[in-house]
């Protein structure tokens, strides 16, 4: 198989860093540095993506066995930026039992490769488009789209001088 995927991996998933967590209103919220801008399906129709937390060290010996129930949210600070909705209910919170995460750990969202890249909300809240890679038949990884830089986000905007 050939996979078109977000970020550099060998299977189709989104890899993001854990940014923060909080315990408000009885929930532990796990905030990631990606969200509905990259994986829109949970926000649109309550799609469920398996999520795995891996240690920032990259060492399997650091994985640990502690778990916690969390609500996973993205970086957009929007009510729809929810990565763990109830199945089929995009506006309903659902806790998911995951490995206890620390800031900087990696969250892997399976099933969010090329399909989600095509649905991504381009430059929403000025977030850049994620890079994409292709994994070939031999498992070699090829960068096929670089992460968008800030200048590329604004390059088509024109001055409004003289309009008002």
**Rounded Cα gap, residues 38 and 22, in angstroms:** 22
**Rounded Cα gap, residues 78 and 35, in angstroms:** 10
Average pLDDT, integer, range 77-86: 90
Q: Does position 138 have pLDDT exceeding 90, yes or no?
A: no
When comparing pLDDT for 15 and 109, which is higher? 109
Q: What is the pLDDT of residues 99-108, one digit of tens each?
A: 988 888 888 7
What pLDDT, on a 0 to 100 scale, did the predictor assign at position 11? 34
Q: What is the pLDDT of residues 51-73, one digit of tens each?
A: 888 888 888 888 889 999 999 98
β-bridge partners, 93: 85
Catalytic (active-site) positions? 77
Q: Does position 86 have pLDDT exceeding 70, yes or no?
A: yes
Place of tokens 């993506």: 49
Q: Give 135-138's long-range contacts (Cβ < 8 A, gap of 24+).
A: 135/2, 135/3, 135/5, 135/9, 135/10, 135/11, 136/2, 137/1, 137/2
pTM of the model: 0.73
Read off the tokens for 61.
Answer: 């010996």
């Amino acid at each position: 198989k050939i996979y078109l995927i977000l970020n550099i991996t060998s299977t189709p998933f989104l890899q993001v860093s854990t940014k923060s967590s909080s315990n408000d209103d009885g929930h532990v919220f796990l905030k990631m540095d990606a969200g509905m801008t990259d994986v829109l399906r949970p926000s649109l129709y309550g799609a469920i993506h398996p999520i795995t937390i891996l240690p920032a060290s990259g060492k399997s010996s650091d994985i640990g066995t502690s778990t916690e129930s969390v609500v996973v949210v993205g970086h957009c600070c929007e009510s729809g930026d929810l990565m763990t909705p109830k199945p089929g209910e995009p506006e309903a919170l659902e806790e998911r039992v995951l490995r206890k995460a620390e800031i900087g750990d990696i969250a892997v969202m399976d099933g969010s490769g090329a399909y989600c890249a095509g649905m991504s909300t381009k430059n929403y809240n000025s977030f850049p488009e994620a890079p994409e890679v292709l994994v070939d038949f031999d498992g070699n990884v090829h960068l096929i789209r670089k992460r968008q830089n800030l200048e590329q986000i604004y390059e088509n905007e024109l001055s409004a001088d003289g309009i008002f």
